[in-house]
Chains A and B, each alone.
Chain A
Amino acid sequence: MPFQFKKRSVLPGFGLTFGYTIFYLSLIVLIPIGALFLKSSTLSWPEFWATVTAPRVLASYRITFFASFVAAFFNLFAGLLIAWVLARYEFKGKSILDALVDLPFALPTAVAGIALTTVFSVNGWLGKPLNAIGIHVSYTPIGIIVAMIFISLPFMVRTVQPVLEDLEKELEEASATMGATRWQTFRRVILPVLTPSLFTGFALGFARALGEYGSIVFIAGNMPMKTEITPLLIITKLEQYQYAEATAIAAVTLVISFILLLFINWIQWHNRRKYSL
């Protein structure tokens, strides 16, 4: 069979819409991102390496990755709990709770940032009791984690919830008929089906937290080497007109994001192949 780019179709408009999609995608996304990699290649390799492995930069990676990981890990449990309750139980106010889950998608990050800072400040609604038991949130790495939990929670819930809703009750009934306890059924029947979506939710939330800026800068304190996240460091370099350095750090961050994006797509593709046929 000869190579065919597109299957035949009686519908018109492929050329126009495909052409426009590629044109607009290139103009807004691909060319600007290409410019970033081009700019970072103006540094020689030793310069590039020295820039992206400077102690302050490494410290920013460390805190950003660590906090994103802890936040995604927390959301693994919190998100599963919320998804489970929303998918399985009926109770008063459920639809309000369900709508609230999307708040971090709808609330501007700057608003979330100042709100979390106020709530978790020494005299804040939650900061005061936490402070009393010795947990200081604002201006510490915990503050960064709290902001990241806030912005990445919906990713976990919204990835797991539809899978739970579509789960066939028959499987669980069969498991129960064969004498499994409810907990065994959850561990051996439900959890394996949920695992790909838990991975996806984890990766989506982790990726989002890595790049997050707005909600974190208010609560983090932004001390170099301690509570300075990578996106903030990029802005700091930019404000000091160190374009090449800002670009090099951005390029590293971008490559990591792309790897995560490919990983997420791979899980979803793998999962579709496994369960759809």
Chain B
Amino acid sequence: MSASKTFISPPAAPEVALQTPRAHMRDAVGEPAWVRYLLITLAILVISAILLVPLAAVFHQAFAKGISGYIEAISQPDTLSAIKLTLMACAIAVPFNVVFGVAAAWCIAKFDFVGKNFLITLIDIPFSVSPVIAGLVFVLLFGRMGYFGEFLSNHDWQIVFAVPGIVLATIFVTFPFVARELIPVMQAQGTEEEEASISLGAGGWNTFWRITLPNIKWGLLYGVVLCNARAMGEFGAVSVVSGHIRGETNTLPLHVEILYNEYDFTGAFAVASLLAFLAVITLIVKKILERGVRAEIKAAENLVPEQGAIHS
């Protein structure tokens, strides 16, 4: 029967023949539709309950007293000085960690030396240290009872409970971000392009600026964005070293806490909404940059067969 049918309408035959194995394959390595929909729904529910609802609550609470209440809350002088301090701490901490990240990635990704994996582990330490302890170590070094306490007070220098302490704590907690993003990108890219540049007579700096930097720009930017987000939002470490002096050593996250503990919920959430807005922007920029980073790694991988051909 089917043979005669095929004979009568030839175009239908290849279609059926092609479709059957494809449909079968999909069954073999995929899930039935109802399982798929169930899992997707569950995932959306979990993400909504755990992540989306709290984010929405921030903005909802911030505008609880309308736009005018919101504007009033974020234009308080204490809020403005907290914004200023947060921006300043970032403007110092991020460049320091960028320079370190590039230097560390260069020596780790471009050279082979003994103890390299150990060095990478050491760089990761700040990620596994509780932020509270990150603050504590600087109090132990520079606090009044600390190792350098007497020296500092003799010279009338203050680090802890002042801006330098906040900057130091911020540098500590954001220490690995740039290095961590750059190392895998630079390792994937290898050393061939730089070696070519050097053997053609370019200097080290020239090679770095003209060859390496353009190759790693997305990875670097990605690291900077993550580093900056953490620097602006750090709470635990900064809380330990800040001393909580209103208008002087209060960063934005600390200001949120103070307002919240004073039962000024609208104010607390209004300030929090600034940080939440920043987080959303960070997520969007991150998503865009991820494409660039993937392209950088992919471009490096595409180079590999060519290199192999040259060597053989």
Contacts and interface: CB of A to CB of B under 8 A. Distances in A.
B175 A28 contact: yes
Interface in A76-111: 78, 81-82, 84-86, 88-89, 91, 95, 97-111
A111 B111 contact: no
B272 interface: yes
B239 A235 contact: yes
A122 interface: no
Contacts of A102: 283, 286
Interface residues of B, number: 102
A21 B131 contact: no
B49 interface: yes
A82 B279 CA distance: 21
A223 to B, nearest CB: 16
A261 to B, nearest CB: 4
Interface in B36-66: 36, 39-40, 42-44, 46-47, 49-55, 57-58, 61
A254 B195 contact: no
Contacts of A105: 226, 229-230
A35 B256 contact: no
A168 to B, nearest CB: 11
B27 to A, nearest CB: 8
Contacts of B27: 176
Residue among A29, A211, A247 having the largest count of chain B Cβ atoms under 10 Å: A29
A36 interface: yes
Q: What's the dominant secondary structure at chain B's contact region?
A: helix
B87 interface: no
Contacts of B286: 99, 102, 106
Contacts of B275: 107-108, 110-111
Interface stretch (B3-11, B118-126, B300-308): B118-126
Interface stretch (B12-20, B73-81, B138-146): B138-146
B49 A126 contact: yes
B2 interface: no
Given A125-B53, A150-B54, A176-B27, 7 more contacts: A82-B43, A98-B287, A110-B275, A111-B275, A213-B132, A231-B131, A234-B132
Interface of B: 25, 27-32, 36, 39-40, 42-44, 46-47, 49-55, 57-58, 61, 100, 103-104, 106-108, 110-114, 117, 119, 121-126, 128-133, 136-141, 143, 145, 147, 168, 171-172, 175, 191, 194-195, 198-199, 203-204, 207-208, 226, 229-230, 232-236, 239-240, 252-254, 256-257, 260, 265, 268-269, 272, 275-276, 278-280, 282-284, 286-287
18 contacts: A17-B104, A17-B107, A21-B103, A85-B39, A97-B47, A99-B284, A110-B253, A110-B254, A110-B275, A115-B58, A119-B53, A149-B50, A173-B25, A173-B28, A238-B139, A247-B136, A250-B132, A254-B133
Interface of A: 4-7, 9-14, 16-18, 20-21, 24-25, 28-33, 35-36, 39, 78, 81-82, 84-86, 88-89, 91, 95, 97-112, 114-116, 118-119, 124-126, 149-150, 153, 169, 172-173, 176-177, 182, 207, 210-214, 218, 231-232, 234-235, 238, 241, 243, 246-247, 250, 253-254, 257-258, 260-262, 265, 269
